[in-house]
Amino acid sequence: MKPANFVLLMADEHSRKYLGCYGHDQVRTPNLDRLAEAGTLFDAAYCPSPLCVPSRASLATGRPPHETRTWDDASPYLGPEGDSWGHRLTANGSTVVTIGKLHYRSADDPTGFPDQRIPLHVKEGVGNLKGLLRGRGPTHEASRRHVTDAGEGSTDYHEYDREVARLACQWIREEASRLDRPWALVVSFVAPHFPYIAPPEYWEMYRDANLTLPVSGDPTVWSRHPALEFFRRQHALDVPLTPPQTLEALRAYAALATFVDDLIGEVLRTLEEQGFLANTRILYTSDHGDHLGEHGAWKKGTMLESSAGVPMILAGPDVPAGKVSGTNVSLIDVFPTIVESAGASYLPEDASLTGTSLVRLANADDADREIFCEYHSSWSTRAVYMIRRGAYKYIHHVDGPAQLFDVRQDPDELNDLASDEAQAERLADMETSLRARLDPERTDEIVRTQQSALIDAAGGVDALRGERTLDFSPPPPAAHA
């Protein structure tokens, strides 16, 4: 594979169901649709953890949260937990520039990304400590309000994302052409992350859109698994929203998806105008999805497809065009994808990485490939793990019954097969596979011990219960001055 430039385009909390190229017939994402036509779309892509901070740490390092111990939104990536792909490229002499949201602790940490432009990191380098309470905190009433208050308007995030796109285009025009080695550029947006408030011109596009309610959004078919019941109670969503409330929020989310698609289009056009498309690989993805009303849930934090699944589109040299790949892939695969794409060298410690270059995966289908996801944070009292192998998804709850879904036949996850005697062997085999990766109970103990220490250092449970919940990290002041 010939070395090439690499552009990593990221949105935040983008459900893969809300793109035209993934089959939505109302959401307008023409730029990402064209990228998919030019390359390979992975229709079974997942995050390593359905939460911003741990997922982004894993994307950087190629390692799951239980290896780096970046479990939650209060344990951001620092650098020493594991080298990032940025370390490998900079050591190889490649220029690496990030523009936009990273969600690490600080630009001063040795994360392997020395040139960070308007980076959005966790608030005050600390993140969301209240999320450590995991059921001991009050009901998060704001989660319901985020949905019921959805509509049109302006937020600091809109201006921030526009500035991210402007700076990315400026760097491509003014700096990239001067480089004589393959470079890497990260362009990372906040949209369509909540608040579900869309810029007016985009809201107008969807004012009369014929969006449909999610099949699993009907309260009569909600999963009554204890983990989902707890999730809904914690988010003040156990009382169903009305269909008009849900549709209004879905319109705002669709508008935000189009908004970020337009910004991505600006970056892609600039790459084309400057003559970089022929020697640049482009990857589009997100850190996790958004439930968007499925099974009565919103935001992220479960192993439902809408939460743990992510869009993944790769285009450029050596990537098949117009292909839809059914191979199971993960953000863990981004590290080897970028390292190999740039022609950089691995170090001996990289031998333990489990990811595979997405370029290789795009060219060689693997119907039985297995990927892994874990969750140790706000909206679960105990650890939750997921194995996806072929069409089947196994979910292991440390304190509850397992779940098993055939997500090819049952994409809405309405039919839990865990109690089906015909699936007993498969269920046992997938649990064995999970335990070969880690000890789920012991890992849960380690996480909760670390989280308890952070709670104690912050003044204890009562002190954190009284703090205002951090709904989202603010953009840097300079980006919306």
| pLDDT tens figures, 52-86 | 999 999 999 999 999 999 999 999 999 999 999 99
As a whole number of angstroms, the distance between CA 318 and CA 312 comes to 16
Query: With pLDDT > 70 as the criterion, what percentage of the chain qualifies?
Result: 98
Query: Is 50 exceeded by the pLDDT of residue 481?
Result: no
Q: From residue 343, how far is each of 9, 338, 359, 404, 431 by CA, in Å?
A: 20, 9, 13, 40, 37
Query: What is the pLDDT, as a whole number, of residue 96?
Result: 98
Q: How far apart are the first and last CA of the chain?
A: 44
The model's pLDDT over 387-425, given as tens digits with 9 standing for 90+, comes to: 999 999 999 999 999 999 999 999 999 999 999 999 999
Strand order of the sheet with strand 329-330?
Answer: 309-310, 45-46, 329-330
Mean pLDDT of 329-341: 98
As a whole number of angstroms, the distance between CA 228 and CA 222 comes to 9
Mean pLDDT score across all residues of the chain: 96
Query: Is 60 exceeded by the pLDDT of residue 347?
Result: yes
Contact by Cβ (8 Å): 199, 152: yes
**Pick from 315, 310, 247, 296: which is nearest to 22 by CA?**
310
Cβ within 8 Å of residue 275, ≥6 positions away: none
- Compute CA 466 distance to the chain's CA centroid, rounded to the nearest angstrom: 29
Q: Domain segments of the chain: what residues?
A: 5-479
The model's pLDDT over 192-232, given as tens digits with 9 standing for 90+, comes to: 999 999 999 999 999 989 999 999 999 999 999 999 999 99
Fold of 5-479: Alkaline Phosphatase, subunit A (3.40.720)
Query: Is 80 exceeded by the pLDDT of residue 467?
Result: no
Give strand pairing partners of 46. 309, 330
Evaluated on CA atoms 7, 303, 121, 292, the torsion sign reads positive
The model's pLDDT over 248-283, given as tens digits with 9 standing for 90+, comes to: 999 999 999 999 999 999 999 999 999 999 999 999
Query: What is the pLDDT, as a whole number, of residue 475?
Result: 87
Contact by Cβ (8 Å): 67, 82: yes
Query: What is the pLDDT, as a whole number, of residue 480?
Result: 47
Altogether, the residues listed in the chain come to a count of 481
Query: What is the pLDDT, as a whole number, of residue 132?
Result: 93
Mean pLDDT of 8-23: 98
Query: Helix or strand or coil: residue 285?
Result: strand
As a whole number of angstroms, the distance between CA 166 and CA 262 comes to 12
